Chains A and B, each alone.
Chain A
């Protein structure tokens, strides 16, 4: 059985030790005009290199760039779009993190690649495969203020899908094998599953040889689980921390798609144990019809202090190794 260890997205960009505060200091210097944008990018490069190294040292076999260059999951994609601007702060789901809300006033058009250069840099410094991450079209539309250009959030989701499809095409051509699409908003709006399906179909047309992994978090995915199997993606990433019934449901219904099991709580510092994780693996793994299966944190790790994020990944590796050893 193949259980691949993978990050699920963001990683803390600073830690408490002074030598891990470089990003914060440079950001402040950039805001004060004391360093140039180019100098700040150099610092970001170093931080990305560091968080990739840290993920690999902790045992991850597929890494991300930690989304170090993102201001937040919304404005990162919308800041450079024609037809969109960025508004005030809004709470990101049930977290204590805030994002800047995009405002769409007219037809949106991409002016430059967003993720491709980030992916290319990460790949150049990572000895392990890098998984690029995109915020999905439905979530972007749901989090945007629509003031013109489209008649509904549904139409806007399809417009975002066209933009993201180009990102996916570029990433695929650059060699990305697995591309993660985050769609947390659908968990709270299952009534819009048809909108998500249509938008993902648009994005997926451009995936070439890459596989799309749809990642859902920040809510209970169990009510949606059966319908997720029909979506036009190659794999599903699921946050298990909200879903007490999810393991039994997967055991019952199985999965025709490979799953990324978000078993490690990326929102709380408490470390998982074999008592909390092994029963879930025992229930879920026999029901999976295809692999590989990924083991991941429940969402990006940026909600935790840096040292705890690393400990969570180390815990994930230790649990995976112990589990496989116990079965052999």
Chain B
């Protein structure tokens, strides 16, 4: 089982390990600095100093809240695909495209062979881990999502682009492991968009992680689950992170038919709502998981990155989550 794998990797975690999906809101000071940097009013070094300050703020916050597996909070990243596309060879910044309403973003374009440029996240991971004794997750975006959220001017088709990306992202995984990361999350929120492409998304994940000594988590959005279960269990990772806070889906019914074979991270906080969930609500959501899987295989986290919430909302939501988990640990002991 995966818990034994964690032990082998030297990671000991309590029952119902708690974590977050990756991003935290930028602190107001950093948000302002990013605007100034975009307007060339401050230097890269000045911005980076504030990114580090904000990262440290979030490490302390996670420790105070009592989370078990920490993240760097992605204070130095804008978008989860653009961050990597800006660093990797083979990409160009694309023109603006609309996401919704009046929101636009620069969608990257693959214009040549994609190339790992050397470590992209390792320095941040290493520095963040030096701030805490708790394990910090390595955080990457998976090859399928990077492919799907980019234009492709170069590769013959989507599959070729995806597999090429997988081979390069693997080198980042290797670099994180070499630096000491033992838990690595490779996010694939796009994985459900074209069911017919799931086989090569899985093939890409094999290329990314096979044979590498780490505990791998993949975060997918909940829509994914209904359309690609149980096939998504073929993803070669130890833990699938699924949002259930907003879903009325009956896990029991689904898992009875096709048993869930991995560890399950239950996304129990609605990151798109300002409302702070009560510990009782959160306990009920966790119980939906515990009814269908042994508690040893269940992790607890929000249903997505918290970057769209305020600092205060993020803290309050996570505090409620930890209150719920502590009560459950006592009840289950």
Name A residues whose Cβ lies closer than 8 Å to a Cβ of B. 12-16, 24, 27-28, 31, 71-72, 88-89, 91, 93-94, 96-100, 220, 268-270, 302-308
With a cutoff of 8 Å between Cβ atoms, the chain A residues found around residue B94 in the complex are 269, 305
Q: Is the CB of B194 within 8 A of A305?
A: no
Which of B95, B101, B102, B149 interacts with A305 by CB under 8 Å?
Answer: B95
Docked CA distance A93–B104 (Å): 18
Which of A24, A99, A306, A308 interacts with B100 by CB under 8 Å?
Answer: A99
With CB as the reference atom, state the residue of chain A lying closest to B94. Answer: A305
Known: A24-B104, A94-B193, A305-B107. A12 touches B98 (CB 8 A): yes
Q: Is the CB of B151 within 8 A of A14?
A: no
A315 CB to closest chain B CB (Å) equals 13
Known: A91-B223, A94-B194, A268-B152. A308 touches B102 (CB 8 A): no
Q: Is the CB of B97 within 8 A of A12?
A: yes
With a cutoff of 8 Å between Cβ atoms, the chain B residues found around residue A308 in the complex are 95
With a cutoff of 8 Å between Cβ atoms, the chain B residues found around residue A304 in the complex are 95, 97, 151
Docked CA distance A303–B272 (Å): 24
With a cutoff of 8 Å between Cβ atoms, the chain A residues found around residue B101 in the complex are 27, 71
Q: Does B293 contact A (CB under 8 A)?
A: no
With CB as the reference atom, state the residue of chain A lying closest to B153. Answer: A270
B315 CB to closest chain A CB (Å) equals 23
Docked CA distance A307–B151 (Å): 14
Which of A15, A88, A94, A97 interacts with B96 by CB under 8 Å?
Answer: A15
Q: Is the CB of B100 within 8 A of A269?
A: no
Docked CA distance A220–B149 (Å): 20
Docked CA distance A303–B150 (Å): 11
Which of B95, B100, B149, B151 interacts with A268 by CB under 8 Å?
Answer: B151
Query: What are 19 residue pairs bridging A and B, where the CB atoms are less than 8 Å apart in the complex?
Result: A12-B97, A15-B96, A16-B96, A24-B104, A27-B101, A71-B100, A71-B101, A96-B107, A97-B99, A97-B100, A99-B100, A268-B151, A269-B151, A269-B153, A270-B152, A302-B97, A302-B98, A305-B94, A306-B95
With a cutoff of 8 Å between Cβ atoms, the chain B residues found around residue A100 in the complex are 100
User: Interface centre among B96, B97, B152, by most A CB within 10 Å?
Assistant: B97
Docked CA distance A15–B95 (Å): 7
Docked CA distance A249–B190 (Å): 30
10 closest cross-chain pairs (CB), A and B? A305-B95, A94-B193, A98-B100, A269-B151, A27-B102, A16-B95, A270-B153, A94-B194, A269-B153, A268-B151
Docked CA distance A88–B194 (Å): 22
Docked CA distance A93–B196 (Å): 14
Docked CA distance A302–B96 (Å): 10
Known: A14-B96, A24-B102, A305-B107. A88 touches B151 (CB 8 A): no
Which of B98, B151, B190, B272 interacts with A97 by CB under 8 Å?
Answer: B98
Docked CA distance A108–B99 (Å): 28
Task: Give the tally of cross-chain contacts (CB within 8 A).
Answer: 68
B30 CB to closest chain A CB (Å) equals 22
Q: Is the CB of B102 within 8 A of A31?
A: yes
Docked CA distance A268–B193 (Å): 16
With CB as the reference atom, state the residue of chain B lying closest to A28. Answer: B102
With a cutoff of 8 Å between Cβ atoms, the chain B residues found around residue A99 in the complex are 100
Docked CA distance A308–B111 (Å): 14
Q: Is the CB of B109 within 8 A of A269?
A: yes
Known: A268-B151, A269-B153, A305-B107. A13 touches B98 (CB 8 A): yes
Q: Is the CB of A89 within 8 A of B151?
A: no
Docked CA distance A306–B104 (Å): 12
B258 CB to closest chain A CB (Å) equals 22
With a cutoff of 8 Å between Cβ atoms, the chain A residues found around residue B151 in the complex are 268-270, 304
With a cutoff of 8 Å between Cβ atoms, the chain A residues found around residue B190 in the complex are 96
Docked CA distance A307–B95 (Å): 8
User: Interface centre among A13, A15, A28, A94, by most B CB within 10 Å?
Assistant: A94
B202 CB to closest chain A CB (Å) equals 17
With a cutoff of 8 Å between Cβ atoms, the chain A residues found around residue B100 in the complex are 71-72, 89, 97-100
Docked CA distance A28–B149 (Å): 25
Docked CA distance A151–B297 (Å): 40
With CB as the reference atom, state the residue of chain A lying closest to B156. Answer: A270
Docked CA distance A245–B292 (Å): 42
Docked CA distance A79–B237 (Å): 43
With a cutoff of 8 Å between Cβ atoms, the chain A residues found around residue B95 in the complex are 15-16, 304-308
Docked CA distance A16–B223 (Å): 32
B266 CB to closest chain A CB (Å) equals 21
B 83-123 contacts with A by CB, 8 A: 94-102, 104, 107, 109
With a cutoff of 8 Å between Cβ atoms, the chain B residues found around residue A15 in the complex are 95-96
A298 CB to closest chain B CB (Å) equals 14
